[in-house]
Structure 1
Amino acid sequence: MLMTACKGTHIEVVFPKVEMQENPEGLATLNPRFSWQLASTMNDLVQHSYQIQVAASEDAFNKEEERIWDSGMVQDDQSVLIPYAGNELLSGETYYWRVKVVTNQGETAWSDVQHWSMALLDQSEWQAKWIGEDALSNPGETAEGNTRLAARYLRKSFTTGKEVKRAMLYISGLGSYEAYLNGQRVSDDVFAPTVSWYPERVYYNVYPVTSLLQKEDNLLGVKLGNGRFFGMRGSDTQVFGLPRLLAQLKIEYNDGTSELIVSDNSWKVSSKGPIIANNEYDGEEYDARLEMEGWNKTGFDDAGWKQADVMDAPGGELTAQPNPNIRVMEEIQPVHITRLEDGKFILDMGQNMVGWLRINNLKGKKDQPVTLRFAELLNPDSTLYLANIRSAKVTDSYTPAADGSFSWEPSFVYHGFRFVEITGLNEQPELSQFTGRVIYDQMETTGQFETSSEVINQIFRNAYWGIRGNYRGMPTDCPQRDERQGWLGDRATGCFGEAFVFNNALLYSKLAQDIEDSQSPEGSVSVVSPRYWTIYNDDVTWPAAWFYAAKMLWQQYGDTAPIKKHYASMKRYLERIQEVSMQDGILTKDT
């Protein structure tokens, strides 16, 4: 028997999610899982049953024959990760869903309609090719060692002569990309796609872009950075090859037809743009004298650009990315500027942060580079303390094309810093001319902690900034020096505490896959995963993070999928340890 809500009581479904995300794009699972929460004006709220409906359009819920799935009213108090159990879901399609709940205080109304879209479920659906500039054509570029490499700019013009119903972009750019449609950013994501062990797995992203299309002429433009794919840090860092792009734009028209715009050798490419070097560790160099105004819009003259080279696929399985990308999650303002005797300026952000510095209407001089060098601490003489940075150059630069004010921020670099050394200015800057852009993986802050002790409160704040500052598509050990790797031991038990502050489930679920992808054929686990530093020690302390993370996901989020998915590989690791690191049931080594 259904109950109406008690008089004066308001109950509603809040925070409906699919695979722990709100309205996600590009899910690869055939049985997406639904979750929700309940809110009431009264205490002691208990769910008795739920009903989920899925449809192919927002207006199809009232037509029984057009619903994809109706669970009926299920007598169950569960509201976390309820699997879809309807008809087979189709590749690339968008689906809509809603849920209502019966509680001890009455029945809710239907939730707001939510949606998700499916990824490309079969590799044969990809008609795009990997493309780029398969050459080293700029000063100082070499294939190995501490080298440098300019960003690649790619563009493709096309026309849409009919009314567009829906357009979806499927894209991967290695190491990182920024995509534009008719001059507008496709997304606010940065450092996309997320990092992986590329010989085993390459992630792609899915974006709805219908609103960005123009009626006739259109231009799809992509800027490629080096990321972790072209490492440029000598023998200690993996180099997988030159940057490359895979892009497939599917356009569906109102008349029922569709077409694909795919990356191939009909695209144009140039590495002669303003980003003349980019490296996560050393910085980004931007020369405004090389700007190509309008390169990502229609009407730009690309006669001087080259035909794109078709390049080899990276090798790993092309996989829809299961976790959100990194974004700018916060902005902070600097608190103080000091002028040193040599004319340099030291900018104090007032907080150790991870991200970059945005310049706002700063006055520069033509051909005179403005350089920014980053550090966490100062020496007693107020200069930067750089010993802990080791070999990383941590320096960004901007060369103005003319005298006057300019605004700028980098695209493919991040730093861990509180202080910034600024050179190349002829006059004292203002605090308002700088903004700290704080980045980490998109996730909710779900917990706070405060006591009557300011010392304890500051310890928590330090942990809060330190944890999120090391979320870079993988949990890293540090964000500032020449390392920034996914050391597993740092997160073995730490992941439990982090989960009380951040909704980090999708990041750690993805890390579990990184660890399996980095496992050796013999079963050894690399203590850095993804294994940009391949270290197979056959110890227990560091690889234990795999098991702890899986346990955390089960206990904190009710997600048993990672345990089931990686059980066989975890067992293979334990058999390896038993074989090479144990004697008479005793562990004989652990480093």
Structure 2
Amino acid sequence: MELKQHFITTNRPFREGAVEVFQQNISTQNVKKATLTITALGLYEVELNGKKVGDALFTPGFTYYPRHLYFQNYDVKGMLNAENILTVYLAQGWYCGRFTFNNKVQIYGKCPAVSWVLTVEDQTGMHRYYSDDASVKAIASPYEYAGFYDGEVYNQSREQEIFRPVKFTGHVPEIIEESTLHVRIREEMPVQTVTKHGDVTILDYGQNFAGIICINPSKMQDIQLKLRHGEILNPDGSLYTANLRKAKAETVYHKGSGIYRPRFTYMGFRYVELSGVEYEDGLLTAYAIYSDMERTGYFTCDNPLVNQLYSNQIWGQKSNYIEVPTDCPQRDERMGYTGDGHVFAHTGAYNFNTEAFWDKFLKDIRYSQEANKEGYVAPTLPAPPGEQGIGFMSMLGWGNCVCIVPEMLYWHFGTDRYIREYYDCMKRFVECEIRKMGGILGKKDLWIQPSLGDWLAMGRDVKYIAMHNGPVSNAFIVNDLRIMVWAATLLGKTDDAEKYAAQLEKTRAAYIKAFVKKDGTMKDDYQGAYIMALKMVIPAGDLRNKVYTNLTERIRRDGMQTGFFATEHILPLLADNGDDRLAFDLLLDERCGGWMYQIKAGATTTWERWDALRPDGTVNETKMSTDNMVSFNHYSFGSVGKFYYQYILGIQPIEPGFAKIKIKPHIDNRIGAFRGNYKDIHVSYNGEKLHLSTPADTTVILPDGTVHEVSSGNYIFSVKESVNEKI
């Protein structure tokens, strides 16, 4: 039986936040095998005889609904009795609930729908199928509201009209495939402090994270309580929520005595405000949630501030790898941002095995891209039809994710699969870039149009960076062309390789002519322009040396003044050019505009703005359009994590998938001894000796430049004398 034929909804007129509940009575006997196959346009959660089926959250997942949908299979044999009750909760979710920074509803469809087939095989081999027949009924829903932004209002005792199931007549995607990658509850987060503040209680969990609060009113009957979530407190100790914008981020629990777990929402928070009842131990339990991914990288050192920054970027990833690479988990946004995603992609792939996560998001890119004739890749994905098109922020720096991520996956995971599967997507995007060259200013071989540039850089107004985005935007084009030459060569596409190589040199020359002066200063004089030019455009030679000298002069004078894109590259660029001391100066800088400033201010995740919390303690509520824009859990500036792995530990691939490895640690006595690993590659330094455990052939480059070629095994190197011994 095909799922496409069995989608049902109810005859309820659309109401934002409504949750439908379906129930089916099923009789079984002599069961040999039982599989529940289920999907939804929206979100579903299913129970069998009162117990949740599976442990995944937000199923079936977030996809480009016009083309693509996931389903799940569950082995439910062990949950079946002779008489059974199947209960399906259906929420609006991303499909038609309130979503995007425009706070729209019914983006992909008019109402949610669900489809399931329970296949039961008895001991004789006979199969019975249970789906949307006359035995399915709609029952009273305990939800007054459920949505990602506002939270949930749960009321077990409310009176309501009961609607009836009807056949779903809306569009069903062409592609429905099984998914095993899910968001799940990952970690219990113990409360650190509980403080009474007037009529409410403030709970501090000590860590900003994305998650849910479960309510267990075991000692209370028919309680009514409200939970409000926030990232920081006001100076008077009350909950700060202004940065949530139109998101309420609340849980309201009415008239219930059973354990309650939010099904169809999550929050980004460190603090919770409890009202309605007095707090008691065991009443509330917090859990962090994030997508399936195995931890693969670790780091620690003697400097507690450096350790805290490492922890902050880890928690930034946990909080924002939820179905898609979101920007933030707390406000009315939480969308899959391509720019934020690729900026953090290398760091994220060291922290966790993210291959399956990116495999899923690349599908979102493909299906969204195929829906437009231009070939652009939107800044937020999956992109609603007609939304986030080739507008103000639609292209450079964001859409380049389609080229950058497949290359990252090649080096981290040792497979050309993503180059092969997404080559056409990469090519369509680059062809779109080439067609757009000339732009409104008519500069041949360059893309000169409005874009966001090195977003949220310190030292410059965002409008200046946007209107002078050329050095950043066109650096991405040069990088895309380089990737296309490499990818075409890898796949044996000689004509494409030659074509893009020629365009690469034209655009590189046009870039240097348009943006770089002969004395090595950038015409648009901000750090991001220098860094992106050096990282992606200017070849070795006298001009590059001049540009680099000008960059380091500005860094020494101004500190770090980079935005989302240049930040990823600033420390590696300095270290690659022998300026280790300056790189560590920036890493350890406690002035506003640096990572350690955030740590000293109490941050437990990286912020959206370097000065999200100003030195005077006020929140930077600078408005973008009509709303403020400040998040205390944005992982873009957490891209510094790559520096920890590739430069402090020194772990870099020489061959794809780390089949051959380079170990080149960068040591600074201000961080002291350190140790860490990426998968089975372990590196530690105790102040005198470097310990290495490697699973493959490895080139070891010690700080004094001494090179050692070693095979798999365990080694100790004397850093001062550059002597190694195999143990």
TM-score (norm 2): 0.57
Checking the alignment, whether the CA contact within 8 Å between 2:43 and 2:264 is kept in structure 1 is yes
Instruction: Return the match for 2:246 from 381, 391, 409.
Output: 391
Matches within 5 A, 1:337-348: 337-341=194-198, 343-348=199-204
Checking the alignment, whether the CA contact within 8 Å between 2:188 and 2:286 is kept in structure 1 is yes
Checking the alignment, whether the CA contact within 8 Å between 1:267 and 1:307 is kept in structure 2 is no
Q: Does 1:251 align with 2:120?
A: yes
Q: Which residue of 2 aligns with 1:274?
A: 142
Partner deviation per Cα, 1:435-491 (whole Å, 9 max, x = no partner): 111101122111111111111100011111111111111010000001111111102
Checking the alignment, whether the CA contact within 8 Å between 1:231 and 1:238 is kept in structure 2 is yes
Distance in 2 separating the partners of 1:290 and 1:419:
29
Partner deviation per Cα, 1:333-387 (whole Å, 9 max, x = no partner): 111111112x111111111111111123365574x63110000000001111112
Partner deviation per Cα, 1:492-531 (whole Å, 9 max, x = no partner): 2311110111111111111111011111122121111111
Q: Which residue of 2 aligns with 1:149?
A: 17
Q: Does 1:516 align with 2:366?
A: yes
Q: Which residue of 2 aligns with 1:301?
A: none
Distance in 1 separating the partners of 2:162 and 2:31:
30
Alignment length (residue pairs): 438
Query: 3-state SS of the aligned residue for 2:282?
Result: helix
Distance in 2 separating the partners of 1:521 and 1:535:
11
Q: Which residue of 2 aligns with 1:93?
A: none
Matches within 5 A, 1:42-121: none
Letter in 2 for 1:333: P
Q: Which residue of 1 aligns with 2:447?
A: 587
Q: Which residue of 1 aligns with 2:72?
A: 205
Letter in 2 for 1:330: E
Q: Does 1:168 align with 2:20?
A: no
Q: Which residue of 2 aligns with 1:79?
A: none
Report % sequence identity.
32
Q: Does 1:369 align with 2:369?
A: no
Cα 1:205/1:554, change in 2 over 3 Å? same
Q: Where in structure 2 are there 5+ consecutive unaligned residues? A: 452-727
Distance in 2 separating the partners of 1:544 and 1:562:
15
Letter in 1 for 2:380: V
Residue 174 of structure 1, CA deviation: 3.0
Instruction: Return the match for 1:498 from 330, 348, 358.
Output: 348
Q: Which residue of 2 aligns with 1:528?
A: 380
Query: 3-state SS of the aligned residue for 2:38?
Result: strand
Q: Which residue of 2 aligns with 1:195?
A: 62
Partner deviation per Cα, 1:4-58 (whole Å, 9 max, x = no partner): xxxxxxxxxxxxxxxxxxxxxxxxxxxxxxxxxxxxxxxxxxxxxxxxxxxxxxx
Distance in 2 separating the partners of 1:181 and 1:135:
25
Checking the alignment, whether the CA contact within 8 Å between 2:72 and 2:180 is kept in structure 1 is no
Name whichever structure is richer in strand by fraction.
Answer: 1
Q: Which residue of 1 aligns with 2:97?
A: 231
Q: Which residue of 2 aligns with 1:469?
A: 319
Instruction: Supply the RMSD in Å over aligned alpha carbons.
Output: 2.3
Range 379-388 or range 553-562, more displaced: 553-562
Distance in 2 separating the partners of 1:406 and 1:420:
21
Distance in 1 separating the partners of 2:399 and 2:244:
27
Query: 3-state SS of the aligned residue for 1:320?
Result: strand
Query: 3-state SS of the aligned residue for 2:398?
Result: coil
Q: Where in structure 1 are there 5+ consecutive unaligned residues? A: 1-123, 143-147, 293-303
Letter in 2 for 1:245: V
Cα 1:174/1:265, change in 2 over 3 Å? farther
Letter in 1 for 2:148: E
Q: Which residue of 1 aligns with 2:167?
A: 310
Checking the alignment, whether the CA contact within 8 Å between 1:129 and 1:263 is kept in structure 2 is yes
TM-score (norm 1): 0.70
Query: 3-state SS of the aligned residue for 2:297?
Result: coil
Letter in 2 for 1:237: K
Distance in 1 separating the partners of 2:192 and 2:282:
10
Distance in 2 separating the partners of 1:355 and 1:517:
29
Q: Which residue of 2 aligns with 1:109?
A: none
Distance in 2 separating the partners of 1:332 and 1:233:
27
Checking the alignment, whether the CA contact within 8 Å between 2:327 and 2:337 is kept in structure 1 is yes
Residue 590 of structure 1, CA deviation: 6.0
Q: Which residue of 1 aligns with 2:266?
A: 414
Distance in 1 separating the partners of 2:401 and 2:189:
33
Name whichever structure is richer in helix by fraction.
Answer: 2
Query: 3-state SS of the aligned residue for 2:235?
Result: coil
Residue 414 of structure 1, CA deviation: 0.4
Distance in 1 separating the partners of 2:2 and 2:225:
47
Cα 1:483/1:339, change in 2 over 3 Å? same
Letter in 2 for 1:379: N
Q: Which residue of 2 aligns with 1:360?
A: 216
Q: Does 1:379 align with 2:234?
A: yes
Letter in 2 for 1:132: T
Letter in 2 for 1:374: H
If you compute each CA radius of gyration, which structure gives the higher value, 1 or 2?
Answer: 2
Distance in 2 separating the partners of 1:220 and 1:516:
36
Residue 431 of structure 1, CA deviation: 4.0
Checking the alignment, whether the CA contact within 8 Å between 1:355 and 1:416 is kept in structure 2 is yes
Letter in 2 for 1:184: K
Checking the alignment, whether the CA contact within 8 Å between 1:337 and 1:431 is kept in structure 2 is no
